[in-house]
Amino acid sequence: MKMLDFIYWQPNEIAFHVGSYGVRWYGLCWLTGLTLGFFLMQWLYKKHKYPDEKFEPLFLYVFIGVLVGARLGHCIFYQPDYFLTSGKHFVEMFLPIKFLDGGGWKFIGYEGLASHGGVVGMLVGLYMYIRKYKMPTWVVLDFMGICSGITATFIRLGNLMNSEIIGKQTDVPWAFIFANVDQAPRHPGQLYESLFYLFTFIVILLIYRKHPEKVGTGFYFGLCLTMIFTFRFLIEYTKEIQEAFEAGLPIDMGQILSIPLIALGVWAMITSKKRIK
């Protein structure tokens, strides 16, 4: 097939400028996803009659947990040979800078965020929030299960705008040519994930509208984890490996990290019947 039969993908990573600072599509997608999740979570708190003072601190715990977890997850799971072998590189794990070979540093933002690490960070943040504000654990986790799909949708759209986490070469007619990477038609894995996460969000929201009484059982939390990370495990077969060391593994790092989250999701759903009031 000719190159014109495929989708030529070369977006400008900068959406607009504020003075000399360029606001990237990636950041806007993260912001959009978190904002939609915020308002949906706020709606759930009000619908289930939890006071505003219980809800207001939640966003900070989740935001910091996701950001720190996603960053550390990328550095530790995917690039330990870089970040854990030098004092300067170790500092780069936590600060959005890069030390230059000739001395000095430059601001680069957080280049590299892992979704599995973000989930772990979110759970740690929720644990701290629940302990401090005395919220029912399974209620908060179910609320998060209902909301998370829409946030994940926009995060993967951000990856698409960055032309990162690319798929393997293919000749399917909807293949993308990521011009910033090479001229080979590839699976748009980011788009596959984004569309499935939107589907997951819609399915869970529709089930919730019919069965709000399941909130607090862990069912929605488990369903979200199971759907998202089962798909994540399968879609990895269409992606290029992110780091060279994965080539020697029977399954890649994304699949390895998905397995315990799938198991947690299945367990939460199976045991949810025990928690029905």
Binding site, annotated residues? 156
| CA separation, residue 10 to residues 65, 160, 166 (Å) | 32, 10, 13
Chain center to CA of 110: 14
| C-alpha–C-alpha distance, residues 244 and 197, integer Å | 28
- 138: exposed, middle or buried (Cβ count in 10 Å: 0-12, 13-18, 19+): buried
Alpha-carbon span 124 to 69, nearest angstrom: 9
Q: Which two tokens stand for residue 202?
A: 């819609």
Locate all alpha helices (DSSP H) within the chain, ordered by sequence: 25-47, 52-55, 58-73, 80-83, 87-94, 115-133, 137-161, 189-210, 219-235, 253-271
Enter the tokens of residue 66: 């996701």
CB distance 114 to 73 below 8 Å:
yes
